[in-house]
Structure formats: structure tokens, C-alpha cells
Amino acid sequence: MREVYMDNAAARPVLDEAVEAMSPYFGLKYGNPQSLHRFGENPAVALQEARERTASLIGASPPEIYFTSSGSESNNMAIKGLAIANQKKGRHIVVSAIEHQSVLHSCKYLERMGFETSEVPVDSNGVVSKEGLLEVLREDTILVSIMCANTEVGTMQDIKGMSDAVRGSGAVFHTDAVAAAGAIPIDVGELGVDALSMAAQTFYGPKGAAALYLKKGTRIAPFVDGGIQEDGRRAGTENVPAIVGMGVAAQVASERMGEWMKKLDPLRERLSSGLLKMEHVRLTGHPTERLPGTVSVCIEYIEGESMLLMMSERGIAASSGSACTSRALKASHVLLAMGIPHEVAHGSLVFSMGKNNSEDDVDYVLDVLPPIVQKLRDMSPLYRKTPQRR
């Protein structure tokens, strides 16, 4: 059976170069990078090289990179650490309505400590407006967190415009760039952000490796106490193999990102146009300002989970909603925030293509999916009751 993998937003294959670079640090070079003896020398050097490569991917300096275990941890570290460090100035936080749950849940945690959160709404394309941000900004706002791009619908935000608008207010600006860093060009200096979350798996690095960029001079409370690692801001023995893999993947992404984007953009358009030829299908997310390779649609009158299972039987891997909520069997908060009705949002499908996908993969999906949709609709009482079916 043919296999077509279009769930790269959830997990990507690790680059051969990264796997090869990681291998010695599982065995031959197993020392702790904090050790002063010779067994710690190679891991310590490797850690610094990975920090330099990761920093280079986003235009940062190496001391501004703090390694974590995941994008969710980076977001938790940013939201909680930045808020707590700046609470004497105020306790108001601003986020968008479509942030990742690791941001939204961190805010809920802080609310139990006396902080207050305001959510900026988005339009029907999932775009956060600068005007909407300014409307909720207050004198006691200490932190603004707006994601760079949404993993689920692919919409990219004008982070530079919003950070410029916030500058001068005294608030720290964080962006969740887990879906974007390594997929599209990012320069933290140009964006004007104080903190940025990223994860290795977005650019074909290993899972279990991520980072938080923190602009020099930005105050943050330690997220994990008990050690000197990561300049005392994230204690715990470093995951050297994964961090090494992240560094190598970051370097490869810097070199090949343009090539990957050039390939993925037309594949995205080919799949989008093909899916929209079916009846009662709507594209979700911005039609043009979206991540390369990401196609998000809602197929009306049927549920996404049923389509996923039937596509899987034909060798196609896709998703419904974000990777962190797709097993929850509930409508995506992102789609609901965009004004999509609850019953329509349940028909969400997300195809996230990667460097290994081809036109033949797209054509296979467009050949397999329509009969599945028709079969499920024929069983749907909602579809049979629509005016055009009477």
C-alpha cells in the first residue's frame, strides 16, 4: 500500500546529518558537559556549537539561547518566567485567542496567582490586528504574547508591526515561533521581539530539543530551579544528543530553507485548489499569508476523525486540529475563534507537507479523499437534510 505522510506539523523525519551527529553522544562521548574532567570536554564544546548554530538560524547571539525539552516548555518558561519577573510593574498579560494551549494554560495558571489576561480576537482568516492589540493594551500590561504562525491553519502574523506598536509601553513581547522557526526566514532583530520559542522538530531535528530566545537584558524568573545549567535559568542535565541534533538541523535549515519553501509553496496551492473543487469545503486560515506546505480545510456535514481513519486505511497520514488536541475529539479553539461554527469545525482536516512530499502525493490525496467524503456524507443525516439534497 502506498504511504503518503502529510502530518509534518506533528512530527518530521530527522535529518540524516542530525542523526549522524547525535550518535556519538549516546555512547562514546557520554560525559556531562558540566564536568571539569576530560570526559566533559567534548559534550561542552558540542553544546556551545549547537547554541551557536541555533542562534544563527534566527539571527540571535549564542548567549541569548536557552535550551529546553519542547516548544511547550519554552512557552511555559517564557509566559510564567517573564510575568513573574515583571510583576512589580503590573499583572496584565495580553495574548491572542488562537495561541497554543501551552501559552493559554500558562496564563490560566498565572490568573490563579492574581494576574489578569486579555485575549485579542482574530478575524475570519485567523489574523491578529495591530488595532485590536492596542485596544486591550493597558498601563499595567507587562507581557504580550502573539504567535508568529499558527500550526493548525498556517496563518502568519505581522509580528514586527505588533512589536513596534507595543514598543515604548514597557511590556515585554514574546512570540511562539515553534511553527515558523526553520520553516520561514526569521530574524529576531528585525521582528523586534524580546523572547521567542522554537523547537527542533519543526526543521527536521529530534523531538525533545527546543529553545527559548531571550534578548540580552530581558529579565526572567528561572523556570526550573536546582542547577547552574542554561545560565541558571533552566536547571537539569542537558540532553546533549538531542541538542547536538538540533544544532545540526538548524544549520541545514539555514542553508536549505529557501529550497524547501520553493518546493512546498506550489504543492500547497495544488492541494488547496484540488480540495476546493469538492462541494461544501472551505479553506481555513489566510489564503496567501500562510506557512509553506500547510493546507487547512473544513469539510462540512462530516467529522474529521472519520476522514482521518479512512484515509489512514489508504496510507494517508494527516491531522484534524493541532497535534496537541487532535485526540481530544473536540472542536479546535483556533477555528472557533475564527468564527467557524462548532459543527463545521468538527470537519477539520490539516495537511502539513514537508520536504519529502511530491506532486504525486498531492494527486494521490485528491484521488482518495473525495470518495471518502461522499461515502461519509451519504451516511450523514445532516447532509441528507440540506436543501440541495432534497
Q: Which residue numbers are catalytic?
A: 324
Q: Which residue bears the cell 547525535? A: 22
Would you say 275 and 49 are in contact if contact means Cβ atoms under 8 Å apart?
no
Residue type, 294: T
Which ranges of 289-329 would DSSP assign to H, the alpha helix?
Answer: 304-313
Residue 383 CA neighbour count, 13 Å, CB half: 17
Helix (H) or strand (E) holding 289: none
CA distances from 372 to 8, 271, 346, 365 (A): 22, 16, 16, 11
CA distances from 266 to 136, 183, 256, 292 (A): 38, 15, 17, 9
- Give CA–CA dist 214/341, Å, rounded: 38
Q: Which residue bears the cell 489512514? A: 312
Q: Which residue bears the cell 485548489? A: 273
Which ranges of the chain would DSSP assign to H, the alpha helix?
Answer: 16-22, 41-57, 71-85, 101-111, 130-136, 159-166, 188-191, 240-275, 304-313, 333-337, 342-345, 359-378, 381-384
Number of residues that this document lists for the chain: 390
- Give CA–CA dist 48/210, Å, rounded: 15
DSSP notation for 186-251:
--HHHHT-SEEEEEGGGGT--TT-EEEEE-TT-----SB-SS-GGGGTB-S---HHHHHHHHHHHH
Identify which of 201, 188, 179, 196 has the alpha carbon closest to the alpha carbon of residue 250: 201
